A and B are shown apart, each in its own frame.
Chain A
Amino acid sequence: MTSGTVPLSRLIAAPSWRDVVGLTSVDGAKRQVRDAHLLADVRPGQLTEGVLYGLVNLPTAFDVRSDVLIRRLADESAAGLVVPAERTGPDGSGTIPASTIRLAERLGVAVFTAEDVSEAILAARAVIRGGDDDRAVYVERVVDAVTAVPSELGELCRRLGQALSAPVAVFAADGRRLAGDDVPGVAVDPSRPGEQRNPTADGYAVAVPVTDAGAESVALWLVAQLSAELNDHYSAVRTALRVAAFGVRTWQAERRLVAERDARLRSGLLAMIRQGHDEPSPILRRQAGELGWRLDGWHVGFAIGLVDGDEATAVLDIGSIFAGEAVTVEIVPENHGWSGWVSMDHEPSAAELNTVVTALRRGHRTINRWVTTYMGVGRAYRGSRGLANSLAEAHDAAQLAVNRKELGRFLYIDRLGLAQLLLAWTRTDTFQPAAHELLAPLGGHQGHLTETLNAYLDAESNLTETAAVLGVHRNTVATRIQRIEAILGVDLSNVDERLALHLACRTTLSPPSPPWA
C-alpha cells in the first residue's frame, strides 16, 4: 500500500459508508483507492486510475452511456463507481439495469449505490485521508448508545454492537462472559491489567476494562470483536470502547443508586407497617400504592434469613425466583435476608394456602441452590395490621427453622406448637443476656454443668434418665446437680426457678439468634 491509498474493503467497512450498498461482488481487499471525485456528467473527460467516482445524475435506465462509462472506468482502472440509490420513476429513470451491473461485474468495476452520492464521496475522501473521521463517527454513535439508558447489559451490548458494527460482549472481572455475543477464543485475559487486543477465530477481540467507580480494580470488561475487515479500525474502536466503558460505569452507578433508593424506601415503609396500626395513615397508603403494595386484602408473610454472609442480598433476584414458581411476592431486602409476603383478594381456603405455601417452599429450595437460607412462613391475616402479624409469625418461624435441617430449614407457622412459639419469645434482646448471665457462673467449672443441667431439666429431674442421656454414672449426675445448685444459688425443686433455668439453657445452647429478634 502506498501512502494515501486505502483498500476498497476498508472503505466498505467504514462506519460512514454504512448506508452505501454494493451492487457488484468485487474483491475490495485487492483494490486500492487513492481518491474520490464526483462526476458532473455520464460522459466524463479524463478518468484517473485508482479514483472512486460518484455519479450524481444517473441517466435514464437503458442509456447506453452507463455501459460506456463502466467500460471506461475499467479501462482506466478506476476504483469504482457510486450511483444514486434506485428510485424508479415512471419512465424507469434512476434505475440501473441488470445488464449494466452484469457488465460491471464482468469488467471488475465495483458499483455502489448511496442515498446521497456526494456524501458518500466526501466520506470516502475522509477515510482515504485519515482515520479521525471514523473515530468521531464511532464515538458519536457510542455516546448515543449509552446515553439512552438501556435496561440491561444484553441490550447495552446490542446497542454498542450496532454502534461499532461489530459484536460486543460484557465479561466479568474473572473473564467469564456475562452478556452479548459469544467471542470465539480468548477474548479477555483477566490476569493482565489494562486494554487488550487478543486474536480470535477471524480477527481480534479488543477488550477495555470498566473500573469500579473511584477504585482501581476492574469490575467488567467491554469486548468488541473485530473481523479482518475492521482490523484497520482498531484504534478508532478502542477509543470508542473507552467512551463506552465510561458510559457503562455511569450506567452501573445509576442503576445501583436507583436500586438502593428503592430498597431504602421499601424497608422504611415496611417498618411503618410493622408498627401495626389498624388503619394505615394516608402517607403510608400513598407510598404503598406507589410501590404497588396493597394493604387491604389478605397477606401471608414470610421471612428468609441467610445462614452466613449478606452479599447475596445484592445479587439474588428473589422476586423472579418466586415468580418462576407462579407466585407473586413483594420483597424487601433486610440486613441478613429478606422479608416478603403474598397478597390475596379474599380469605384463602386451606387448599389455596397450601398452594401458596408449597410454591414458597419450592422457591426456597431454589434459593438454597445458591446460598444456604432458612425460611419461615406466617399465617394469613387481613389488612395492614394483619400483614404485620403475619410477618412477625414468619420471623418467629424462621428463627425456629434455622436448626431444622431435617425440614429443609423451612417452617410454616401452622405446624408449630405453642411451646415452640414460647421458645421463640425467649430469644429476645431482653431475655437472652439475662439467660447468659444466669448461667455464666457454670462456665468457669469443669464437668459440662450447663449441658448436665439442661439434660436434667429435660428429663423431668430424673437422675437415672439424665445419666443415661449423658452417658455418665447416676452419682456423677447427682454430684453435678448439687454443685450447680451451690454455684448458682438456686433450688431446683422450686418450679419457677426450674422453668427459668430450663429456658436459659435452651437459649444459651441454641445457635446465635436471628437479627430481627
Chain B
Amino acid sequence: MSVIDTSDAGLAALERGSELLGCGGGGPTPLARTLLRQAIWRGQPPVVQSLACLGDDDPVLPVGIVGATGALREKLPSGSEFVRVVDSVTRVTGVSPRALVGTEVGGVNGLMVLVAAADTGIDAVDADLMGRALPRLDQFTAAVYGCRLTPAALAGGTGASIVLDDLDAHGVERVARLFLAESGGWAAMACAPIPAGVLREAAAVGSFSHAQWLGRVQLDAQIPDPAGLADELGGRIHASGLVEDVVRYQGASMFSRGVVTLADHETQALIRIDMENEYLTVLRDGVPVASTPDIICVVERRTAVPVPCDRIRYGMDVSVLHLPGASFWRRPRHLPAVAPRAFGIDVDACLMPGAFGVAP
C-alpha cells in the first residue's frame, strides 16, 4: 500500500509540490513525470511506503540524480542507470536494499526516486535526504547526521559508471563533480544503505506525502491566489510585485549567484532575494525575513506557478512565498550545514514557526 497517489492527478500534485520544495532549483520536472507515466503504463507502478512500516535494520538505499538536471533533456536516460547504481552498491556492500530513499524531494528528484523504484522494482520510502532542494551532496541529512555515503555508485547518461569508496561527504561531492564532466552532465547515484531505524532520525521524514499535499492544495484551489495558498499551506507571503532587477554574478562558490530586487506593490518595501541554485535569503528593506533551510518560493502572482531561479527575469509579476522547512534542519546541530552562512551569506537563519516531518 503506497502512501503516494500515483494517479495522473496525484502525480501532477507531487510534481507541483516538488517544484515548490525545489525553492527555485532542483531542475525541471516534466521529463521525470513522462518517465514515471511510462513506467506506470508498462505496469510497473512505484510503491512508496511509510518509513514506519520498515524494521529498524532494514537497509534503505539513497538514490537520486546528481549534476545538471537540465541536461537530462539533452542526454536522455536509457532506463538502466538506477538499476546499475543499485546493483553496484549491492555488489560492493553485499547488502540487498529493502527500500530506496530519495536524496532530494525538491525538483526533478522528487519524481526520479519513483522512476528508480519503478525501474528497480524496489519500494521507495516516504522520506528524503534534504526535505527540499540543496546544491551539494554533503548537505544530505544523512551526511549531516553522520552517516557514511560510501560506498556509492554513479552512472551517467554516457554509459560510464564508477564506484566511490572510503570518501567522506565532501570527498564524494568533489569526485562526483569530476565524474559529471565525463558522464554528460548528470548521473544516477546510489549511496551506502542506511538502516531504516537510523533513517527515521537522519532524513526528512514524510517529505513525499508532504510534497503531494502541497501540490494538491495548490492545484485544487479555485483561484490560484498566492495569499490564499500561503494561508492554506501554513506559509506567508513576504511581498508581491514586479521584479525590478536581476543581477547574476560569479561568487566565491562554484555555482553562479544572483540577486533579485523587487518592490512590494502594496508597501513599496524593497525585497532582495539572494539566490544560488535555489533562493537562499529574503531581505525586506534590509531586514532578513526568510532564509534557508525554510522553503522560499517565488511564484507567479496570478497563477502561483513556481518560478525557477534560472528563469526569473526583469518585469515578472511575482509573489515571494515562504513555507516551513523540514523539521530535521530545525535541530541546532543540523542547522549550520544549510543555514545562510553555509552559502556564504552572513546573516542568521530566519525561519518561520512550524516544520513538516517528525517533530525534532
By a beta-carbon cutoff of 8 Å, the part of chain A in contact with chain B is: 43, 60-65, 67-72, 74, 91-92, 97-99, 102-103, 106-107
Contacts and interface: CB of A to CB of B under 8 A. Distances in A.
Main secondary structure of the interface of A (DSSP, over half): helix
Contacts of B270: 99, 102-103, 106
B251 to A, nearest CB: 7
Interface string B254-280: 000101010000001110101000000
Q: Which of A43, A61, A62, A68 has the most CB of B within 10 A?
A: A62
Nearest to A102: B270
A63 B346 CA distance: 8
Contacts of A62: 247, 249, 251, 257, 259, 274
B281 A64 contact: yes
Q: Which of A72, A74, A99 has the most CB of B within 10 A?
A: A99
B286 interface: yes
Contacts of A74: 286
Interface size class for chain B? 20 to 34
A64 B249 contact: no
Given A102-B261, A102-B270, A103-B272, A64 B347 contact: yes
A21 to B, nearest CB: 22
A71 B287 contact: yes
A138 B288 CA distance: 46
Contacts of A65: 346-347
Contact of B286 (A61, A92, A107): A107
- Please give me the 3 A-B residue pairs with the lowest Cβ-Cβ distance, nearest first: A71-B286, A99-B261, A67-B286
Given A65-B346, A97-B259, A106 B268 contact: yes
Nearest to B269: A106
B285 interface: yes
B245 to A, nearest CB: 6
B221 interface: no
A449 to B, nearest CB: 107
Q: Which of A64, A67, A72 has the most CB of B within 10 A?
A: A64
Contacts of A43: 346
B316 interface: no
A99 B272 contact: yes
B345 A64 contact: yes
B283 interface: yes
Contact of B274 (A64, A92, A102, A107): A64
Contacts of A92: 249
Contacts of A64: 272, 274, 281, 283, 288, 345-347
Nearest to A70: B286
Given A92-B249, A106-B285, A107-B285, A67 B346 contact: no
A495 to B, nearest CB: 112
Interface in B285-318: 285-288
Given A62-B247, A64-B288, 17 more contacts: A62-B249, A62-B257, A62-B259, A64-B274, A64-B283, A64-B346, A67-B272, A67-B283, A67-B286, A68-B287, A71-B283, A92-B249, A98-B245, A99-B245, A99-B259, A103-B272, A103-B285
20 contacts: A62-B247, A62-B249, A62-B257, A62-B274, A64-B274, A64-B283, A65-B347, A67-B272, A68-B283, A68-B288, A70-B286, A71-B286, A72-B286, A74-B286, A92-B249, A98-B245, A99-B245, A99-B259, A106-B285, A107-B286
Interface string B82-121: 0000000000000000000000000000000000000000
Contacts of A72: 286
Contacts of A107: 285-286
Contacts of B283: 64, 67-68, 71
B253 to A, nearest CB: 12
B82 to A, nearest CB: 38
Interface string B226-267: 000000000000000000010101110000010101000000
Contacts of B286: 67-72, 74, 103, 107
B274 to A, nearest CB: 6
Nearest to A69: B286
